[in-house]
Chains A and B, each alone.
Chain A
Amino acid sequence: MTDTTRRDFLKYSGALGAAAATGGFAGLAHAQEVLKVGVVYVSPVADIGWTKQHSLGAQAIKDAFGDKVEMTIIDNIFMPQDAERVFTQLASSGNKLIFGTSFSHGTPMQKVAPRFPDIAFEHCSGIVHLANLGTFEAKYYEGTFVAGAAAGHMTKSGKIGFIGGFPIPDIVGPANALLLGAQSVRPDTTCNVVFLNSWFDPGKEKEAANTLLSQGCDVICSMTDTATGVQTAGEGGAWSIGYASDMAAFGSGKQLTAFTLDWSRDYVEPAKAVAAGTWKPEVRWDGLAAGIVKMAPYNEQIPADVVAKLKQLETDIGSGKVHPYAGELKDQDGNVKVAAGSVLADPDIRGMNWFVAGMIGKLA
């Protein structure tokens, strides 16, 4: 796998562009044999976290195709203006399939994709679809519901704490599901919520976790891009729930489980479709059933019968027998948002901007 940094990329892409202009597309015949795939990460590849999980997806393509694939990976591209340039460069240098891995890559991809109608674009966390722009996303809420059930079994105080990056539906929804999962076991559970208003600020995350501990929360779930929440909970003797990757190594043995993300299918399927010439823009949005969301091994201190129940819950959510947002659901003010016997509609799940009853926190 070509592991190129942004700087290298910019340096070489100029030369590449010049070569392409003078030498024509001599590489085209070669390109039919070998699939060229470009992937853009929002942050550097660390040992854990969001981008690490995407790098495993990219690795899955490599594993599936062997030497029939040539991958160009550009990391640490967050700003839309940088992203637009990088996507353009990738598209003009012969890549037939290009992945964007952050919500912030959306606007640049929507600009670049129409200019290269023959190239397939796949956007993780995307909401806009075009003729050659597909999206994929995980049902985080299925994972948080199961993790919440684990928390409900293990909490003593009946208070769990949630740390979110920003108050957006992708975070608010899973936070609600976390509490609903806990309440499915212990109905009087409440959940204190803190937003950092940053994806990435380990110092503030530490303070947030300590704040939640000082208010009596004994399970902490943090949906940000570091292991600080898991680490701080462990230091304070509280349980924790990891996100994106298994963070057990950071939790002082107190990580209950983690809802991890496995994007392999979302990478390999489009790659195979592009190679076969059958690619179409799709909306992939899956969770436990498809294995996009997976629960990390449960903590050994959770009783065996509880673990069995949690595994059953995973199966039931996967099969649709249990729906995390099944009625009756009330909001913080007691208004019924989902009637008994029905479930929250998919568009409402993806746009969830209200807290369920029992959440302690305030949305604007």
Chain B
Amino acid sequence: MDLFVAIFAGTVIAATPLVFAALGELVVEKSGVLNLGIEGMMLMGAAIAFGAVVAGYSMPVAILAGGLAGAATSLLFGVLALTFLTNQYAAGLALAIFGSGVSAFLGRGFGSAPIDALDRIHIPGLSDIPLVGPMLFRFDPMVYLALAMFVAISWFLYRTKSGLVLRTIGESPQTAHAIGYPVIKIRYLAVLFGGLMAGLGGAYLSVAYTPLWVENMTAGKGWIALALVVFATWRPQRVLLGAWLFGGMTILQLQGQAIGLAVPSELLSALPYLATIVVLVIISQNRQMLALHFPASLAKPFRPAG
């Protein structure tokens, strides 16, 4: 039973950076903008948050700084893609490379100093319940923040007027513009929010998950988050599900290796990717639903007419 708890808790924690980054990207894409630079924004968030802790700032300040660093990085993409209407694929890829380079440069000063990780919460009573306590009430605050963001984003997108406007802009920016909504401004806000979330995901890695800074420490998590949004067919619940599935399969394949499962480790390592793709493709069979959730103007530059 301890093993089950360990696998469950490991899954939730492993999925958290992906939840942050992928939910952020979901909002960006729902506004009709494709930002491929998640990896770069996560790395900036990770570097800045770690640097803030090393510089002696408190944990909440450091994490916020990481989020803001991600947002600041995304602003660069915004200027290129939204103001100068460059190709969004190219601008996003450039951002990924830019973020990894700049974060490496900034990170040189931090060395590989060890820091104390973000503390886990302990609610007297609740955290001590057998089984349920370690499974639900013993994570660090960022895990709960990620879940709160999931609820907030789902509610915002589908239950508020602003969310409707955002989705409209993702479907048909011309229409939204004609009605009088500031398309570019709202897209900017979405891009900044995506950057903030990616930065938080990166900060989670460097100050809570593996509390150290090393160059390119995200090791591809930004790209996985990007893929999750597509495979989740732009629906928040499925993004969350996909992230958990991916995290869970990662933990399970490691457990499988460690008990000496008679499967080559190379194959087991591929399992999280395979399983996530297969499951999300299967649940996305309904083409009508797919068309309904896909932002029709995704990655198409918008120039207000007149």
Interface residues in A120-168 by Cβ distance below 8 A to B read 161, 167
Contact of B258 among A44, A205, A211 (CB under 8 A): A211
Contact with A along B250-290 (1 / 0, CB 8 A): 11001101111111111001000000000000000000000
- Give the chain B neighbours of A214 by CB distance below 8 A: 2-3, 6-7, 10, 255
Residue pair A360, B259 in contact (C-beta under 8 Å): yes
Residue pair A362, B219 in contact (C-beta under 8 Å): no
Total interface residues in chain B, CB < 8 Å: 42
Residue pair B112, A47 in contact (C-beta under 8 Å): yes
- Give the chain A neighbours of B250 by CB distance below 8 A: 204, 207
Bound Cα distance from A309 to B262, whole angstroms? 37
Task: Verify if A364 is at the interface (C-beta below 8 Å from B).
Answer: yes
Task: Verify if B210 is at the interface (C-beta below 8 Å from A).
Answer: yes
Contact with B along A18-46 (1 / 0, CB 8 A): 00000000000000000000000001101
Residue pair B257, A193 in contact (C-beta under 8 Å): yes
Bound Cα distance from A5 to B6, whole angstroms? 43
Indicate the size class of the contact surface on chain A: 35 or more
Known interface pairs A214-B6, A362-B260, A362-B264; A43-B209 also in contact (CB < 8 Å): no
B69 shortest CB reach to chain A, Å: 19
Residue pair B264, A192 in contact (C-beta under 8 Å): no
Task: Verify if A55 is at the interface (C-beta below 8 Å from B).
Answer: no
- Give the chain B neighbours of A250 by CB distance below 8 A: 114, 212
Task: Verify if B205 is at the interface (C-beta below 8 Å from A).
Answer: yes
Mark B residues whose CB is within 8 Å of A: 2-3, 6-7, 10, 14, 17, 104, 108, 111-114, 117, 205, 209-212, 214-221, 250-251, 254-255, 257-266, 269
Supply 18 further A-B pairs (C-beta < 8 A) apart from A167-B264, A249-B114. Answer: A46-B111, A47-B113, A193-B257, A194-B257, A195-B266, A203-B14, A207-B251, A208-B254, A213-B6, A214-B10, A227-B112, A227-B114, A231-B114, A231-B211, A231-B212, A360-B260, A362-B260, A362-B264
Pick the 6 closest A-B CB pairs, nearest first: A214-B6, A364-B264, A47-B112, A201-B219, A360-B260, A195-B265
What are 5 A-B pairs at a CB distance below 8 A? A192-B258, A194-B265, A200-B216, A211-B6, A215-B259
